Every structure is written in structure tokens, then in C-alpha cells.
A = this chain, B = another copy of it.
């Protein structure tokens, strides 16, 4: 191999080096991820089953386990260039602080107004809705990252965007709400009185502050019952991982350009959209037997779907309006302890990643949140970026691996995903700064309650 140029501190690919197709990891998986099941019939969902809910082209992508590369439509490429490529940064200030022989790089996805990688799939999903001639889309949002991303994407394509925002977040995170409104979205606190399911939940639980499961149910009901609308989702689904492969493809291209060959790739894992995207082309090489990498998923100890969950069919949502997915799950009734700050609170995990983990192709570990915020602040002070609490899980994982290298003297190359910024998570940082942050690891009894909600369908 020809000697490569020395990599700069931040690697930005040039426009003609940018990926022009998404990479569909499923095409290279020997065992495909288990299909979504219809909860009534327990049969794999077919195109027609999903059509009332999702855009046609997105259903095709959801079901396509064969096509390796799917071209990125021109209008999506146009939008990508507004905030992509994202930089692959050599974290030399962090290396110096840790005094480690390891080389640490991070792919930073936070330099856009949605503040995270969510925009990569939001713009694709909005595009396909527009291309299908739809009038608008619905979705739910908890903390607001996905809702913000979809609002921005819909604004760009002049689509209506109805966001059901978990009521407690709507009230406690007014700034996220205002960003969405600024981009023209209609943001409704959930449960609302606009939907049947919302009215029912409000009647059954007066004064409830809502949940993601309930917000999903409302968004799906509105999508299905409003002509010209569909529902869009920001994680877990195969189509989302497909779009997020742009993260990994850019990372791989930057590595190849400068001859960087990672030993370890680390990402935080909630529903799996970022991790699945980051690792896609690397995992592809691993699946095809071309190269080997250690791949590590990092999750919160308070929501440990990989490390303590079961690999079975479960409902994708608390409200049981969505299909069933085979995945690592804590049970659809599982809710992380109230002291858990930030995202990564989904009870399950992407079916693609679940299958790969099940086959032993990747590792997983969990951290308690105080340790995660320690890592976040350590990173922020030397690398200058205030990370999202979710991203800080990956930072903590990278720091731990770099410190192991310090002990062994190994010069391993570590890449981690810095998914977003923490500008809207300052209530959590304040708790940390005030010494009021606490940890909670669910007991086996806590987990047993969640597991009890998993339907026994013998799969």
C-alpha cells in the first residue's frame, strides 16, 4: 500500500469523496434479522400490512435484506451537504490527558441544529414522504432530538409535521419544543385530547405526564386516520440503520484515505440507530471475512437491554399498537428508573444489532450514569465539545479502552461515535455539577417485572 498522507486533526472528506449510496448491512448477514410480526396473526409483516403506516419506499427498504447499496436520492444528497460530511476527529487532547499510547478518533455528528445524527434518517424519510405526494407525517418524540430532526427535514421539503411530545418533556424541555415550532412543526403534548387513544389514556390516568409508548400510539393513530399522512420513526427499524450507514461510510472513507485501521469501534446504544450506522461498513468486512474489528456497544446500566435483556419477540412499543420485533428486550413495560437522565431508554434494540450480538459478532457493556458524566466532563474540558449524555457512554467506553492500552503499552486505534451535543441536556449537567446525580441499577426483581410483559408466543 502506498504511504498515506498524515491525517489532520479533523478529517473532512471533500465533496467528491462523499458516499453516494447507503450500505445495507443486512445484505451481508448470513442470518438475516428476524422479520417484524403482525401481532394478531404472528405472521411476518408484508408490504401491504405496513402501507397504511409507512411510506411505500421506506417499506421496501425495511423489507430489503438483499440489496447491498441503495443510492442516496439527489435531494437528500443536497440536504446532506448542508451539514455533512461530519468530521472524523483525532482526539489528541484526550490522548494527552489520559497519557495513553492508544490513538483515539471520534466521528462527530452533532454539528447541526438538531444536535445529533438523527437528521441523517429524518431527511431521507421526509424525502420519501414528499416523493410519494404525501401532505405530512407524524411522529413522537421524548427528549426531542428526533422530533427536531424531523421538523427540520419536513420544513425543507415543505411537509406538515405533527409531533406528539411526551407531556413531561413538553413542559420541562420547552427549548426543544420551540426549535421544532420554529421549523414549522405542530407540537402536541401527549397524551392529548386529539386522539382516541389519548382521550382514553387521559380518562384512565387523569393527570398523567405521558410516555413514549403513548406518544407513539397517538402518532400512529393520526397517521393512519388522516388522508395523506404517514408515520415516521427515528430508530430501531432496518430502514433507519440503512440511512445511518452514512456515518460509517464516511468514517471508513476517512480511515482509508489516511491509512487508519481501527482495532476497536465503540458506540452508544439505545434503539441502535447510531451504532448500527457507525459500524455498518466495518461489520460488513467482518461478515465477509475480510477484516476483524472489536465492536463494542455501550448502554446505560439503568436500561441494559443488551447486557441483561432477553433475545425474544416483544412488542416494539409500550402501547402495543406497533408490530412485534425479535430483539434484545427488557420487556415493553420496562421503564428506566426516574433518576435516569438523557436518552438510551428504549426497552429493546434494533433487530439487526440484536442478531449480530446474538451471533457474538459484537460485545456490549453498561455504565452507570455518574461515571458517564465524569467522562463527559473530562472530554468536554480538553476536546472543547459538550457531549450529549447518550454520546458520553461511548466516550466512557473509549476512555476505558485507552486506559487499558496505557497498562499494556499497546497502541490500539479506537474509533467512537460522538452522536451529539448536550446543549439541551443542561438540567442533567446541572444535577451533575451540583453533586445531585445518582445511579440506579435495576435489581433482578425490577427486570423480572419487565420480562413479565413479554408475550409468550413461543418465538
B113:A386 contact, CB within 8 angstroms: yes
A429:B178 contact, CB within 8 angstroms: yes
B111:A174 contact, CB within 8 angstroms: no
Contacts of A8 in B (CB 8 A): 14-15, 81
A433:B181 contact, CB within 8 angstroms: yes
Question: Which A158-184 residues have a C-beta within 8 angstroms of B?
Answer: 174-175, 178-179, 181-184
Say how many copies of this protein the assembly contains.
Answer: 2
B178:A430 contact, CB within 8 angstroms: yes
Give A267 to B82 CA distance when docked, in angstroms.
21
Question: Is A47 at the interface (CB under 8 A from chain B)?
Answer: no
A83, A182, A183, A423: residue with the most chain B Cβ atoms closer than 10 Å: A182
A384:B433 contact, CB within 8 angstroms: no
Question: Is A296 at the interface (CB under 8 A from chain B)?
Answer: no
Question: Which A278-310 residues have a C-beta within 8 angstroms of B?
Answer: none
The prevalent SS among residues of A at the interface is helix
Question: Is A112 at the interface (CB under 8 A from chain B)?
Answer: yes
Contacts of A115 in B (CB 8 A): 423
User: Given the interface contacts A14-B8, A82-B93, does A426 sit within 8 Å of B178 by beta carbon?
Assistant: yes
Question: Is A421 at the interface (CB under 8 A from chain B)?
Answer: yes
Give A309 to B8 CA distance when docked, in angstroms.
47
Rounded to whole Å, the gap between the CB of A284 and the closest CB of chain B is 28
Question: Is A12 at the interface (CB under 8 A from chain B)?
Answer: yes
Rounded to whole Å, the gap between the CB of A120 and the closest CB of chain B is 13
A-B contact pairs, 23 of them (CB 8 A): A8-B14, A8-B15, A12-B12, A82-B93, A113-B384, A113-B386, A113-B423, A152-B384, A155-B381, A156-B382, A174-B430, A175-B175, A175-B423, A178-B429, A178-B430, A178-B433, A179-B429, A181-B433, A182-B377, A182-B380, A182-B386, A182-B429, A183-B380
Chain A residues proximal to chain B, CB less than 8 Å: 8-10, 12, 14-15, 79, 81-83, 93, 111-113, 115, 152, 155-156, 174-175, 178-179, 181-184, 377, 380-386, 421, 423-424, 426, 429-430, 432-433
For the complex with contacts A113-B385, A182-B386, 15 further pairs of A-B residues with Cβ separation under 8 Å are A8-B15, A8-B81, A82-B383, A112-B385, A113-B380, A113-B384, A156-B381, A174-B430, A175-B175, A178-B426, A178-B433, A179-B386, A179-B426, A181-B430, A183-B381
